Amino acid sequence: MTALEIVRIPVLSDNYVWLVHDSASGGTMVVDPAVADPVLEAAAERGWTITDIWNTHWHPDHTGGNAAMKEATGCTITGPAAEYARIPTLDVQVQGGDTVRLGNHIASVWDVPAHTAGHIAYHFADDGAIFVGDTMFAMGCGRLFEGTADQMFANMQKLGSLDDATRVYCAHEYTLSNARFAVTVDPDNEALAARLAAVEAARAAGEATVPTTIGAERATNPFLRATSATELGRIRALKDAA
Ligand code: FE
Ligand code: ZN
């Protein structure tokens, strides 16, 4: 099986849309298109035709490009069954335990409620990659708009059970803000201090800082390192107020 080609497309102020191509089948999938045009252009530049969109949750900065991309390409849109009413462009509804595929690359769907009530993630186990939308960020986690700290704690524990090498494709460049906050709640963590310095340098040079990895998050992410839902909730409330 040839490796998936995964392209990061920065859009809006800090969103990342992920363009995923399987050369064996010719399939090209887009995770969470906030907008259509830059994604269509990125695909066209490579000679790829978009066959699929996979949404992680209903927020407009993850679904805003659905309709225009479907009109332009006839692609199939897959997303969370629990948010069907809020994503009227969905063709295929999935939920935790389902599998979806891009060619021979199989992703399992995880239910990761908390940021939104029906939020899902897509885990390509054989490819060592997971698309998490707004559930986990580099050194951060999503806000608890429609769920609880208990749910987000369960999500972090499940993500933390993956191999260190697993690449985590999140939907925003929040890394610098998250790192600056993380050092305030975990001031003695040397790996975190080193990562903050590296991220400051990368951002100053205009570089992206994602995807991240489960290993890096296990070492530095205060939400993944929280040992209880209560602790995660306390840290989340501090971050919301920061
Ligand atoms: Fe969101
Ligand atoms: Zn978002």
> Would you state the pLDDT for residue 234?
98
Span from the CA of 61 to the centroid of ligand 1 (angstroms): 7
Q: Is 91 found in the same domain as 140? A: no
> Would 151 be classed as within a structural domain?
yes
Domain that holds residue 17: 1-95
Gap from CA of 56 to ligand 1 centroid (Å)? 9
The domain tally of the chain equals 2
Type of residue found at 41: E
**Within a domain: 122:** no
Query: Do 54 and 147 fall within a single domain?
Result: no
Q: Which of 3, 18, 43 is nearest to 208 (CA)?
A: 18
Claim to verify: residue 87 and residue 148 sit in the same structural domain: no
Which residue among 95, 125, 148 closes a domain? 95
Single-letter code of the amino acid located at 177: S
Whether residue 109 lies inside any domain: the answer is: no
Whether 59 is a known active-site residue: answer yes
Q: Which are the contacts of 190, defined by CB distance < 8 A and separation ≥ 6?
A: none
CATH number for the domain harbouring residue 169 = 3.60.15.10
* End-of-domain residue from the set 78, 95, 112: 95
On the question of a cis peptide bond just before residue 211, with omega within 30 degrees of 0, the verdict is yes
Assess if residue 166 is contained within a domain.
yes
Q: Which residues does the chain have with pLDDT short of 50?
A: none
The ligand whose atoms approach the alpha carbon of 115 most closely is 1
Whether 172 sits among the annotated catalytic residues: the reply is yes
22, 32, 62, 123: which one is catalytic? Answer: 62
Q: Are residues 91 and 150 in the same domain?
A: no
Q: What is the pLDDT of residue 242?
A: 87
Of 73, 95, 117, which residue sits at a domain end? 95
Q: How far apart are the first and last CA of the chain?
A: 45
- Rounded to two decimals, the pTM is 0.98
SS3 at position 11: strand
What pLDDT is attached to residue 1?
Answer: 75
